[in-house]
């Protein structure tokens, strides 16, 4: 039993070895087949790629052939037309030479001595050629540019046109052949003279060659008939469309100038605080007066810019108001000062922004009612030869009374424009000033440079003011002494 068991064990041991060997052999065989299949697959791929390349080349060749055939089919009619035109062009110089040679031969002969020779094809062509040439020339001469050039050439050679005979003999008579030859030669001579002068511009609607050939056939069949009338140019083609001229607009009747309504003077106070706000008033399209406060940061610069803009500069002299809590600013005339102190203050302020045309009061409802203070101020005004404008901040002002005692002229404000800064309120105030100007002949209206809307409003109103008969100016420096003025 033990031997049998050993055999069974040995057999069991050998079986896995055999199976392993069989598996290895199978894998080897598979790998060998794969290795053998690889070269087959690469060769197949190469063959396929070669086939694809060849197919692509064949397709390209077919496309190229097709493209060449299309080109040939398109070019064949053009070649035929060029071949047809070449013999026509070659015939013209030969036919032109034939009449000239025949004319030289026939010069010593006369119609009575020479027998009637038989009519040849060349003679027929010589007779018919001028008609064909004239028909083609007439068609080419239908264009406006060619007609102008032909007219100039005809003016240069009038003698050639007058050589045509009045009566032509019959073509079968003995004298008809030389006469026709001479006539054709004369026509060709004139045509040759005219041709160099005529250079028609290239046009799209040229005469086709087929029509020229058909004209030759028709002229050959109608050689004994009366020559055709010259072709009338087509008015539809040659005449350009003339656009209807629109009638010019009737000029408007000049508006009658309005009668003179009065003079307006606009004064703008409180310059010296801000230069940006000042620029709006410097750009106004009419002359005006701008009053500059002394002792401020931009006082001297404001005065310089106002003069540069062509406007009038005056001193806006600060004076104490009735309300003592209000500070009129630096360089003010206040109560308790002596006459000499007031004069020195005013002189200093004038020097800061000099030169100026005059001055007016800033605030000053208290000081303009003081005769002593205003007497000192007016003394400086007379000393500097400038004017004084009373802003009329109070109804109790004594400026006019003191000026009359000193035999001086002063000006007074008529309207304050921008106490209410709304547009509607400013418009109503300006209209009040216009009515005052109509009544008294002039009006001074005062605004302020910090009201930018006022500058915009006056710029808009300016054309209407001029149309209504108003004039605008700065304050006049000269007036009748001892008078109170409301403007120029």
Beta bridge partners of 470: 262
Q: 4: which DSSP letter? A: H
Q: How confident is the model at residue 22 (pLDDT cuts 50, 70, 90)?
A: low
Nearest one of 391, 273, 380 to 321, comparing CA atoms: 391
Taking only the tens place, the pLDDT of each residue in 377-402 is 999 999 999 999 999 999 999 999 99
In this model, does residue 124 exceed pLDDT 50? no
Instruction: Spell out the residues 6+ positions from residue 177 whose beta carbon is closer than 8 angstroms to its own.
Output: 116, 117, 119, 123, 171
* Per-residue tokens: 118: 């038989």
pTM exceeds cut of 0.75: no
Angle at 465 between CA 291 and CA 486, to 5 degrees: 45
In this model, does residue 121 exceed pLDDT 80? no
Instruction: Spell out the residues 6+ positions from residue 224 whose beta carbon is closer than 8 angstroms to its own.
Output: 171
Taking only the tens place, the pLDDT of each residue in 218-242 is 554 444 444 555 555 554 455 555 5
| β-strands 415-416, 387-390 pairing | unpaired
d(CA 332, CA 293): 10
First to last CA, the chain: 160
Instruction: Spell out the residues 6+ positions from residue 407 whose beta carbon is closer than 8 angstroms to its own.
Output: 481, 482
What is the residue-averaged pLDDT of the chain? 74
**How many CB atoms are closer than 10 A to CB 313?**
23
Buried b / exposed e along 156-180 (16+ C-beta atoms within 10 A)? eeeebeeeeeeeeeeeeeeebbbbb
Q: Are 188 and 99 in contact (CB under 8 A)?
A: yes
């Amino acid at each position: 039993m033990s031997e049998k068991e050993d055999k069974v064990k040995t057999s069991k041991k050998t079986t896995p070895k055999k199976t392993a060997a069989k598996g290895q052999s199978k894998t080897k065989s598979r790998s060998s087949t794969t290795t053998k299949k690889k070269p087959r697959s690469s060769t197949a791929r190469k063959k396929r790629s070669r086939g694809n390349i060849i197919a692509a080349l064949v397709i390209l060749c077919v496309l190229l052939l097709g493209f060449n055939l299309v080109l040939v089919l398109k070019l064949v009619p053009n070649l035929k037309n060029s071949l047809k035109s070449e013999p026509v062009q070659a015939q013209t110089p030969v036919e032109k030479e034939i009449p000239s040679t025949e004319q030289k031969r026939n010069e010593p002969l006369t119609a009575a001595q020479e027998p009637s020779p038989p009519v040849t094809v060349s003679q027929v062509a010589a007779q018919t050629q001028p008609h064909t040439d004239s028909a083609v020339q007439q068609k080419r001469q239908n264009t406006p540019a060619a007609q102008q050039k032909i007219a100039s050439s005809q003016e240069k050679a009038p003698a050639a046109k007058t050589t045509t005979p009045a009566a032509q003999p019959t073509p079968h008579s003995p004298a008809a052949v030389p006469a026709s030859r001479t006539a054709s030669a004369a026509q060709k001579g004139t045509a040759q003279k005219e041709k160099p002068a005529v250079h028609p511009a290239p046009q799209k609607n040229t005469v086709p060659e087929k029509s020229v050939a058909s004209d030759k056939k028709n002229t050959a069949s109608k050689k004994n008939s009366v020559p055709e009338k010259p072709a009338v140019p087509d008015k539809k083609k040659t005449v350009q469309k003339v656009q209807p001229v629109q009638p010019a607009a009737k000029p408007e009747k000049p508006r009658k100038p309005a009668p003179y309504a009065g003079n307006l003077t606009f004064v703008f106070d409180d310059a010296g605080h801000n230069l940006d706000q000042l620029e709006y008033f410097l750009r106004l399209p009419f002359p005006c007066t701008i009053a500059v406060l002394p002792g401020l940061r931009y006082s001297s610069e404001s005065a310089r810019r106002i003069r540069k803009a062509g406007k009038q500069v005056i001193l806006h002299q600060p004076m104490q108001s009735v309300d003592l809590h209000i500070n009129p600013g630096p360089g003010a005339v206040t109560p308790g000062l002596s006459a000499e102190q007031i004069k020195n203050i005013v002189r200093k302020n004038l020097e800061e922004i000099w030169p100026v045309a005059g001055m007016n009061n800033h605030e000053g409802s208290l000081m303009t009612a003081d005769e002593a203070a205003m007497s000192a101020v007016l003394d400086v005004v007379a000393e500097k030869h400038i004017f004084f404008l009373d802003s009329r901040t109070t109804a109790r002002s004594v400026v006019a009374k003191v000026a009359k005692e000193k035999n001086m002229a002063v000006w007074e404000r008529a309207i304050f424009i921008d106490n209410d800064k709304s547009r509607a309120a400013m418009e109503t105030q300006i209209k009040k000033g216009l009515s005052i100007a109509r009544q008294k002949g002039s009006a001074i209206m005062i605004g302020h440079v910090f009201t930018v809307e006022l500058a915009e409003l006056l710029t808009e109103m300016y054309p209407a003011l001029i149309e209504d008969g108003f004039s605008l100016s700065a304050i006049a420096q000269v007036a009748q002494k001892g008078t109170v003025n409301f403007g120029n």
